[in-house]
A and B are shown apart, each in its own frame.
Chain A
Amino acid sequence: MPLLDIQNLRTYFSTRGGTVKAVDDVSLQIERGDALGLAGESGCGKTTTALTIMNLLPSNAEVLSGKVFLNDVDLLTIDEETLRKEVRMKQLSMVFQGAMNALNPVFRVGDQIRQGILTHEDITKEAAWERVRELFSLVGINPDRAREYPHEFSGGMKQRVIIAMALSCNPDLIIADEPVTALDVIIQAQILELMRDLREKLGLSMIMITHDLSVIADTCNKTAIMYAGKIVERASSITIFKKPKHPYTQGLIANFPSVSGELKGFEPISGSPPNLISPPNGCRFHPRCPYAMGVCSKEEPETVELERGHFVSCHLMK
């Protein structure tokens, strides 16, 4: 039984311009110990998927259908109070994009983590402080620095604090939204190393949301590629990077630069991602697809399992 099982999730936003189909029929499974990279371009629905799982959507969003099972409980059916007390932080926590800049400047960083622990667990302040110190060592910061304020930390250190915060109540699953995007390459490598370490040490399961395929190749054992609100291909990272089947995945991988290995040429994917208020009929990628056929503009492709665990949604696969 998977740790997280998302089935046919649809999340739409109502805006003045119309209904934005941000997440449209997304299914995903995460086994215990998995690190899943969720990749795609901006606006493809990666973050909305995460916010739906966390049940933190803004008020103009609506979940039209779908199920999100975590530890066999459908998160979309339980009430806010249980969700807040029993699920968030304890079973599921999130490292938000840019969260390192959202630390409260007037509280000590340790106190900000302790507050979360005290809200969720029935332990003494002293025990919670001890936990904060342990968390600091775990993410590679001197525990004495828990008494310092955010301005005394560098960007990389703040990101470590945010990760410590996400880990503070021993969750089963962490969702990290672009955790290294704003960081310089050396700091980025330090954080990625930390995340690989934590996965090994704590047996943590993880969803890593990013637009950077190299970050996924570096840390995740599974990869899902999202395009215009849909997951077009998912498989083990090795399969996605070595034998991509969907033309969009192929385009992304072929264009992604690397500092080593064979020098790649340019085969840009033409056009740009569609507007999700009125996405193209049929396969959403067909206007940009070099292999588009007649059927692609008419019917939505079904998701087929090519090999065990390798799912592709494309008419070419038939």
Chain B
Amino acid sequence: MSSDEIILKVRNLRKWFPVRTGILEDLFSRDEKKFVKAVDGISFDIKKRQIYGLAGESGCGKTTTGRVILRLLEPTSGEVQLGDQDVFSLTKGELNEFRKSAQIIFQDPYESLNPRMSIFDFVSEPLVVHNIGNEEERVTNALKTVELIPPEEFFYRYPHELSGGQRQRVAIARAMILNPKFIVADEPVSMLDVSIRSSILKLMFKLRDEMGISYLYITHDLATTRQVCDKIAIMYLGKFVEEAETEELLSNPLHPYTQALVSAVPIPDPTARKSKVTISGEIPSPIDLPPGCRFRPRCPHAKEICSKEEPDLVEVVSNHRVACHVRV
């Protein structure tokens, strides 16, 4: 389980992407410049050894959040602290050091592995980049940790010779070879078959327990978060609508959007309740956001205030934060 030491602190993080228009419009249009507000002011903490889930539908900004935290994308504003490092003020050289302590695992192991690189070269590349010697021993250990055994047999194989589960293990070996303290796991199992998923998740747990790694676990799959995450935040159009410990959030969702998400998930039991749709419409464009609460146009409980003021994320029960005028 997680300790009380906070390892990652995110404050008012924003990432706006400018909407590209034609040159004439740039020069002559009097309209304000438009932005896709992919991440629009989110704050949260991740504790040591915690697995923090970030869930939401496609386009809600969860992947952008992960990338901005690692500075794979430059932020628009906000603050991120990993340990005692202020991530957004790092110089190029410092950023290099930072990469040793923060890594990412991507969604699709069929695309994230370079098909022309042997497993040894792929896993040892971070060691070469950071000028750390002793490659053979370190790669052997990393492959052992991710249970690709015997490691020597995998050294000179290529990604196409491996199954999906093995590929994701290789990607994890590369992410952990520099002993990071924090990993962004962006849908690490959604491309894998059910019988493979559990073993990859089990491996992530092992790394947490043995190496003290904390995770930001990005996913659209609420059922898996229950098995994996200590805490979950639900994102909608760039903002958190609700955050709580996993069991609390899934059994007692307070925000109408979270309630809709949870009740829409089908249950693998033919005698259980059927999946239900409690809200209408689809996610609106993140360019022209409605004033007030972003969820208002689809919300079954909307009141007058909802179209005027944006709700803040407020703690309503201990450790359970909700951004909703109706619930607070």
Contacts and interface: CB of A to CB of B under 8 A. Distances in A.
Do A and B come from the same complex? Answer: yes
Interface of A: 41-42, 154, 156, 184-190, 192-193, 196, 211-215, 217-218, 220-221, 237-238, 241-242, 251-253, 255-261, 263-264, 266-270, 272-273
A184 B58 contact: yes
Interface residues of B, number: 45
B269 A217 contact: yes
A213 B194 contact: yes
B195 A192 contact: no
B279 interface: yes
15 contacts: A41-B193, A188-B264, A189-B263, A214-B223, A214-B267, A217-B266, A217-B270, A221-B270, A238-B271, A252-B194, A252-B195, A255-B194, A255-B198, A257-B224, A272-B164
Nearest to B267: A258
B180 interface: no
B274 A218 contact: yes
B227 A261 contact: no
Contacts of B230: none
Nearest to A155: B282
B227 A193 contact: no
B163 interface: yes
B268 A156 contact: no
Given A192-B275, A272-B166, 16 more contacts: A185-B57, A217-B268, A218-B266, A220-B270, A241-B268, A252-B194, A257-B221, A258-B226, A258-B267, A259-B222, A260-B251, A261-B269, A268-B195, A272-B165, A272-B195, A273-B193
Interface in B255-285: 260-272, 274-277, 279, 282-283
Given A41-B195, A258-B226, A260-B272, A193 B267 contact: no
Interface in B174-210: 193-199, 201-202
B250 A260 contact: yes
B268 A213 contact: yes
Contacts of A237: 270
Contacts of B163: 272-273
A263 B265 contact: no
Nearest to A186: B264
A156 B202 CA distance: 34
A195 B163 CA distance: 34
Top 4 A-B residue pairs of the complex, sorted by shortest distance between their CB atoms: A189-B264, A218-B266, A268-B198, A268-B199
Contacts of B99: none
Given A211-B194, A266-B227, A273-B193, A185 B267 contact: no
Contacts of A190: 277
Contacts of B261: 185-186
Contacts of B194: 41, 211, 213, 252, 255-256
B220 interface: yes
A258 B269 contact: yes
Contact of B277 (A189, A256, A260, A273): A189
Nearest to B224: A257
Nearest to A184: B57
A185 B202 contact: no
Contacts of A259: 222-223, 226, 250, 262, 265, 267
Nearest to A236: B270
A212 B221 CA distance: 12
Contact of A214 (B166, B220, B263, B265): B265
Given A185-B222, A186-B260, A263-B227, A214 B268 contact: yes
Contacts of B196: 268, 272
